Structure 1
Amino acid sequence: MSNEPTPVLRTGRRMSDPALVVLVLGGGKDVSRARSRSWHLAGLRMWPFTWMLRRAGRARGISVQQLQYRFRGWNAPERTAVEDARWALNRIRAEHPDVHVVVVGHSMGGRTAAALIDDPSIVGVVALAPWWPEGAEADAFGPGRKLLVMHGTADRWTDPRTSLRATERAVERGATARYLSVSGGHFMLRNPRLWSRATRDFVLGIAADAQVDCMGKQS
């Protein structure tokens, strides 16, 4: 039996035909080949967002799925977190070929989400205190893509100024992008309702737009 770790996609309640799928990504480390575990804080930190979005989106047909990476690190040049997230997108697409996806990621998860924007399934990204050390992670956002970036003013782990500049460049490239500055630090412990409410409103807004588009095509 192989000891090679595999990613885990926690899908929650199954939906036969969801209107939208939300993929939730936790944070991590720059370099680490240690296995991700369900009790690590990087993943636990995102479960309140997953549960909140499931409650808010259940009646709207929104499926919210949280990914547990194989490893705790970003691990360039392979970028194992991105490999795992693409695996999750392939799983989602295999089950629901035409569904649109919103990715919600914190810290390293925000970097991973930005790296996925070339995937045609993705219509929106929520980057929570994203780790964007190169400052160019959001440069692939363009017309038809929606982006919400939230960052704590007192963040000492990742740089809010880099996030702001990246958001501004995304706007210049034609993306629908918004930057929201929040009092507090990296781990979203202050003003948790603001982090939660802005994420919820962004996701529900995309779901509503998708429903309008669908109705327009049917009429």
Structure 2
Amino acid sequence: MDAPAAPEALSSGAEVRFSGPQGRLAVVCANGGQAAQVPGTWSASIEWLVRRLAPSFADVRFAEVRYRVKSWKRLDLCVEDAVAAVMAAGAERTLLLGFSMGGAVCVGAAAHPSVVGVLGLAPWLPEQLDLAPLRGRRLDVLHGALDRWLPGIPGVSPTVSRRGYERARRMGVEGSYAVIPGAVHGVALRAPSGRLVTLPRAARWAELVAEHVSRFRGSA
């Protein structure tokens, strides 16, 4: 896979990496987070997916966001960073892709006029999250069947995303929900060397994400 593009500064102070030329369509990708208020990092799972999928979608611009602070205690800042990336992508139609906490971030950013939907990968959709920005958009969710939170090991139970998805459906939001057998929290990890190490069922994650991106492209 090709090396990631050089990062660019966003108006919010965060950073973004683009794959593909600016055009009518963009997929803006938001990373997970944690309780501690620490500087943002690039998501190994999102990076692996973008490097794998971008060559097959030459007319879609992929954007990977690195938050200023990757913490759910500053979800407001993360949402600002995602919106800034949507604006920088400059597309007529945008699909937001959020991993873990990035699911909540994408919901918060969904009110931007160009956004047509949110694709959550093991998304954190807590009960207190306001889902109103999803009105008029889609919410599609993919979640690993073996995903769990354990002491010292990050994770989001599928029951959390399922409850959030059902809340959205009761609001009239269209979408889909799929569980991936044998999959855990995420698609890849980053080794100390910087190399990406795939997690179980990574190829299935990529296949399903590609299907959603294809539908997004086909609806344009």
TM-score (norm 1): 0.78
> Shift in Å at residue 152 of structure 1?
1.7
The secondary structure found in structure 2 opposite 1:49 is: helix
- Are residues 69 and 75 of structure 1, via their aligned partners in 2, closer, same or farther at CA, if it must alter by over 3 Å? same
Instruction: Kindly provide the amino acid, as one letter, of the partner of residue 9 in structure 1.
Output: V
2:62 aligned residue:
64
Q: Which 4+ residue blocks in structure 1 deviate beyond 3 angstroms? A: 135-140
Structure richer in helix, relative to its length? 1
1:91 aligned to which of 85, 88, 92: 88
Please list, as runs of the form range in 1=range in 2, the aligned pairs for 1:199-210 lying within 5 A after superposition: 199-210=209-220
Q: Does 1:35 align with 2:39?
A: yes
* Number of residue pairs the alignment of both structures matches: 191
Q: Residues 74 and 80 of structure 1 are in contact (CA less than 8 Å); yes or no, is this contact kept in structure 2?
A: no
Please list, as runs of the form range in 1=range in 2, the aligned pairs for 1:6-25 lying within 5 A after superposition: 6-15=13-22, 18-25=23-30
1:80 aligned residue:
77
1:119 aligned residue:
112
Root-mean-square deviation (CA, aligned residues, Å) is 2.1
Question: What CA distance in whole angstroms lies between the structure 2 residues aligned with 1:73 and 1:10?
Answer: 20
1:47 aligned residue:
47
Question: What CA distance in whole angstroms lies between the structure 2 residues aligned with 1:69 and 1:82?
Answer: 9
Question: What CA distance in whole angstroms lies between the structure 2 residues aligned with 1:148 and 1:9?
Answer: 23
> Shift in Å at residue 100 of structure 1?
0.6
Question: What CA distance in whole angstroms lies between the structure 1 residues aligned with 2:69 and 2:134?
Answer: 27
Please list, as runs of the form range in 1=range in 2, the aligned pairs for 1:180-191 lying within 5 A after superposition: 180-183=178-181, 184-188=183-187, 189-191=199-201
> Shift in Å at residue 208 of structure 1?
0.8
Instruction: Kindly provide the amino acid, as one letter, of the partner of residue 190 in structure 1.
Output: P
Q: Residues 14 and 66 of structure 2 are in contact (CA less than 8 Å); yes or no, is this contact kept in structure 1?
A: yes
Question: What CA distance in whole angstroms lies between the structure 1 residues aligned with 2:87 and 2:61?
Answer: 15
The secondary structure found in structure 1 opposite 2:73 is: coil
Q: Report % sequence identity.
A: 26
1:110 aligned to which of 81, 103, 115: 103
The secondary structure found in structure 1 opposite 2:79 is: helix
Instruction: Kindly provide the amino acid, as one letter, of the partner of residue 141 in structure 1.
Output: L
Q: Residues 40 and 69 of structure 2 are in contact (CA less than 8 Å); yes or no, is this contact kept in structure 1?
A: yes
- Are residues 161 and 26 of structure 1, via their aligned partners in 2, closer, same or farther at CA, if it must alter by over 3 Å? same
Structure richer in strand, relative to its length? 2
The secondary structure found in structure 1 opposite 2:211 is: helix
Q: Residues 7 and 68 of structure 1 are in contact (CA less than 8 Å); yes or no, is this contact kept in structure 2?
A: yes
- Are residues 72 and 173 of structure 1, via their aligned partners in 2, closer, same or farther at CA, if it must alter by over 3 Å? closer
- Are residues 139 and 150 of structure 1, via their aligned partners in 2, closer, same or farther at CA, if it must alter by over 3 Å? farther
- Are residues 138 and 110 of structure 1, via their aligned partners in 2, closer, same or farther at CA, if it must alter by over 3 Å? same
The secondary structure found in structure 2 opposite 1:174 is: coil
The gaps in structure 2 that reach 5 residues or longer are: 1-11, 149-154, 188-198
2:204 aligned residue:
194
Question: What CA distance in whole angstroms lies between the structure 2 residues aligned with 1:13 and 1:178?
Answer: 27
> Shift in Å at residue 13 of structure 1?
3.5
The secondary structure found in structure 2 opposite 1:11 is: strand
Question: What CA distance in whole angstroms lies between the structure 1 residues aligned with 2:78 and 2:144?
Answer: 23
TM-score (norm 2): 0.78
The secondary structure found in structure 2 opposite 1:14 is: coil
> Shift in Å at residue 155 of structure 1?
1.5
